């Protein structure tokens, strides 16, 4: 595999040049595949994420091991992989999902005939580094970008990722896209479009871009995910709410049906003040306080505004993996 600081430039040139240059680059980028998934209608995520999903994936190991963004294959009972070399889609099986990182692993039922993309060292990525964002389709589906920031990302779905990678300009087909460093190694997996990937000061312009999960989050858990389908024996406690952060206040956006939060009586538009004696004004603050309450099954006291006074709602936390319907393929 090509290993050179000139990798990005060569890929961009290959997109404009015919014959051998394009063929060589497409062969290297053939590790980036298309992942398609079908999810049963009774799945917990069918309504929010849809029953038919598609994104990119990256072949990272022998025997057709493909790394992708987890929400593409979450609760799927049928998955297929298509390579840039053409041919019919190859059936695949979901072998792991990790909510803490947001990553998923699938394995093709037969050899994909492509060379895996080597994992890089995403800890070395810093703001202003040049990178390449690549989706399924070879050199024509690549786009140069800059790392614009590295920071903690908090999502409204009880998700917190430390040291996420933010790039710009935005890449449209971001789901599961490969973030490739200047040496041609995989540095991250595409997750989201972010309207504020970077802001130059409190009153400066806001630049949109994408958020990538760095491979540094994958490396310590990869072997265990392959072996057991999980990154950890004991997941973080979960209550099943989605939160909006507005000017230092947290409002309940949605409560998952039959979740611990729903059973305890939390409802949309509730103003959340904190967990126990810990006041929380940001998503990250709330999640850290919630996860400090104990393992799934422990009691978390969520303080909410009731009229003009605060009240405490006692919630027995749950296990997200038991709530989701993950036993259909693994």
Domain that holds residue 165: 122-218
Do both 129 and 156 map to the same domain?
yes
Q: Is residue 12 part of a domain?
A: yes
Nearest CA to 182 out of 132, 126, 117, 127 is that of 132
- Same domain assignment for residues 254 and 319: yes
Same domain, 203 and 296: no
Task: Indicate the number of domains in the chain.
Answer: 3
The set of residues, in sequence order, having a beta carbon less than 8 Å from that of 165 and lying 6+ positions away, is 122, 125, 147, 150, 179, 187, 188, 211, 212, 213, 214
**CATH number of the domain that residue 99 is part of:** 2.40.10.10
User: Which residues are CB-neighbours of 179 under 8 A, at least 6 positions away?
Assistant: 122, 131, 132, 133, 165, 167, 186, 187, 188, 189, 190, 212
Q: What pLDDT is attached to residue 3?
A: 45
Q: Please check whether residues 25 and 108 belong to one and the same domain.
A: yes
Q: Is the pTM of this model over 0.85?
A: yes
* Residue 327 pLDDT: 72
pLDDT in tens, the chain (330 residues): 444 444 555 555 455 445 554 555 777 799 999 999 999 999 999 999 999 999 999 999 988 999 999 999 999 999 999 999 888 999 999 999 999 999 999 999 999 999 999 999 999 999 999 999 999 999 889 999 999 999 999 999 999 999 999 999 999 999 999 999 988 999 999 999 999 999 877 778 899 999 999 999 999 999 999 999 999 889 999 999 999 999 999 999 999 999 999 999 999 999 999 999 999 999 999 999 999 999 999 999 999 998 888 999 999 999 999 999 987 666
Given 57, 89, 115, the domain boundary residue is 115
pLDDT value for 308: 82
Q: Are residues 208 and 136 in the same domain?
A: yes
Q: What pLDDT does 329 receive? A: 61
Return the pLDDT at 195: 96
Final residue in a domain of this structure, among 93, 115, 137: 115
Tell whether 228 is covered by a domain: no
214, 187 Cβ separation under 8 angstroms? yes
**Residue 283: its H or E element:** helix 283-291
Regarding whether 128 and 99 lie in a shared domain, the answer is no
The reply to whether 224 falls in a domain is no
Residue 12 CA to residue 252 CA, distance in Å, equals 45
Count of residues for the chain? 330
Q: Give the whole-angstrom CA distance, residue 141 versus residue 99.
A: 28
Last residue of one domain, picked from the residues 115, 144, 163: 115
Question: Does a structural domain hold residue 133?
Answer: yes
- Same domain flag for 53 and 109: yes
Q: How far is CA 5 from CA 142, 230, 252, 293, in A?
A: 17, 35, 47, 46
Residue 270 tokens read as 């509730």
């Amino acid at each position: 595999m090509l290993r050179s600081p000139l990798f990005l430039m060569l890929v961009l040139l290959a997109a404009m040049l015919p014959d051998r240059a394009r063929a060589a680059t497409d062969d290297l980028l053939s590790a980036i595949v298309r992942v398609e998934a079908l999810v049963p209608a009774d799945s917990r995520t069918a309504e929010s994420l849809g029953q038919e999903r598609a994104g990119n994936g990256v072949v990272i190991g022998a025997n057709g091991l493909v790394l992708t963004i987890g929400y593409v294959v979450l609760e799927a009972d049928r998955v297929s992989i298509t390579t840039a070399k053409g041919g019919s889609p190859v059936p695949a099986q979901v072998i792991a999902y990790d909510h803490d990182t947001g990553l998923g692993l699938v394995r093709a039922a037969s050899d994909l005939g492509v060379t895996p993309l080597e994992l890089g060292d995403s800890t070395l990525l810093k703001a202003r580094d040049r990178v390449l964002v690549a989706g399924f389709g070879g050199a024509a589906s690549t786009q140069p970008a800059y790392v614009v920031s590295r920071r903690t990302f908090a999502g409204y779905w009880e998700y917190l990722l430390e040291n996420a990678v933010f790039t710009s300009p935005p890449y449209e087909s971001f789901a599961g896209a490969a973030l490739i460093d200047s040496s041609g190694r995989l540095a991250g997996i595409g997750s989201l479009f972010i309207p504020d990937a970077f802001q130059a000061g409190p009153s400066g312009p806001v630049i949109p871009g994408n958020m990538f999960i760095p491979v540094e989050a994958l490396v310590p858990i990869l072997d265990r995910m392959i072996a057991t389908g999980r990154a950890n024996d004991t997941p973080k406690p979960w209550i099943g709410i989605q939160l909006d952060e507005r000017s230092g206040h947290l409002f309940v956006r949605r409560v998952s049906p039959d979740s611990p939060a729903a059973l305890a009586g939390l409802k949309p538009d509730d103003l959340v003040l904190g967990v126990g004696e810990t006041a929380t004004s940001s998503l990250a603050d709330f999640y850290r306080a919630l996860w400090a309450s104990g393992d799934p099954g422990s009691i978390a006291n969520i303080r909410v505004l009731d009229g003009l006074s605060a009240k405490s709602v006692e919630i027995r936390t749950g296990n997200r993996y038991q709530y989701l319907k993950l036993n259909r393929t693994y």
